[in-house]
């Protein structure tokens, strides 16, 4: 959530939310809430759509450049060199190139947790920490730096724990049959707590030590029994499906439609801006 909020700070005032609304991916109210990551899943999905759209637009621009150079029989720079030159010549290109890099960094962090990849977790976190400093997220800038240092030095200070972390035990995978479904330890604890609390939460438990101890001891066992009952009764029909839910055909088709719609919307905005610019020059 902190990474998504940081990304939202960088995108503030860029017109990103307007593009999402015009592409009919979401409503205006939901689009504004995505800048603050009020709904994590919805915000992450919107950033996935935008990252794919920016990559497509970048590839189309490079293809146009290659075709022009071939027609003029000029030298052709490779993609990385071309991006570097465009970033130096056009601030707008540099801004959206940075947006794409930051989005991919956040998505890599999500991937590191979902796949329980400890090395990728450390690498992506090291790329996120400077953004916490740059966009004034003070608490995460300070504490994430300490956490990152602990993770980097864990091999020399605690080799046994480092071995377990690299085996994926810094996350929890409640459904081993499903790929890309691991979650953080604190996330797993919150889900267990939610199963036990039910309606009304754990109001009053913190004031009664005995009741709190019983809840802490019995909570995980109650959650396990509830899960087994739901599985046996068929409450979750897709429990034994061996694919992530975003790999289902319906999800894939919807994602492709949203990406195509957003690409078209951005291209129409660009063409409109160029038309008005040259119209003002001529008339």
Per residue in 93-152, pLDDT tens?
999 999 999 999 999 999 999 999 999 999 999 999 999 999 999 999 999 999 999 999
78 backbone dihedrals φ, ψ, rounded to 5°: -70, 175
pLDDT tens sequence across 6-22? 999 999 888 899 999 99
183 neighbors 172 (Cβ within 8 angstroms): yes
List phi, psi (to 5°) of 244. Answer: -70, 150
- For strands 183-184 and 171-172, give the pairing: antiparallel
pTM of the complete model beyond 0.85: no
């Amino acid at each position: 959530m902190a990474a998504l909020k940081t990304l939202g700070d960088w995108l503030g005032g860029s017109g990103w939310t307007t593009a999402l609304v015009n592409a009919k991916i979401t409503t205006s109210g939901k689009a504004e809430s995505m800048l603050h990551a009020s709904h994590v899943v919805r915000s992450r999905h919107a950033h996935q759509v935008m990252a794919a759209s920016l990559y497509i637009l970048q590839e189309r621009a490079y293809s146009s450049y290659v075709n022009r150079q071939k027609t003029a029989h000029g030298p052709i720079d490779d993609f990385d060199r071309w991006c570097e030159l465009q970033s130096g010549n056009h601030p707008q290109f540099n801004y959206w190139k940075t947006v794409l890099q930051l989005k991919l960094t956040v998505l890599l962090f999500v991937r590191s947790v979902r796949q329980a990849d400890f090395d990728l977790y450390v690498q992506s976190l090291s790329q996120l920490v400077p953004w916490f400093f740059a966009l004034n997220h003070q608490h995460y800038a300070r504490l994430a730096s300490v956490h990152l240092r602990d993770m980097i030095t864990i091999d020399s200070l605690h080799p046994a724990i480092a071995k377990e972390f690299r085996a994926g035990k810094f996350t929890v995978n409640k459904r081993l049959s499903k790929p890309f479904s691991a979650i953080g330890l604190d996330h797993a604890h919150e889900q267990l707590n939610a199963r036990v609390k039910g309606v009304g939460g754990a109001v009053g438990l913190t004031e009664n030590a005995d009741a709190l101890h019983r809840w802490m001891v019995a909570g995980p066992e109650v959650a396990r029994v509830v899960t087994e009952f739901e599985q046996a009764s068929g409450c979750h029909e897709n429990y034994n499906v061996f694919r992530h839910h975003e790999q289902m055909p319906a999800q894939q088709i919807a994602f492709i439609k949203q990406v195509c719609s957003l690409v078209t919307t951005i291209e129409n905005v660009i063409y409109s801006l160029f038309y008005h610019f040259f119209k003002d020059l001529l008339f």
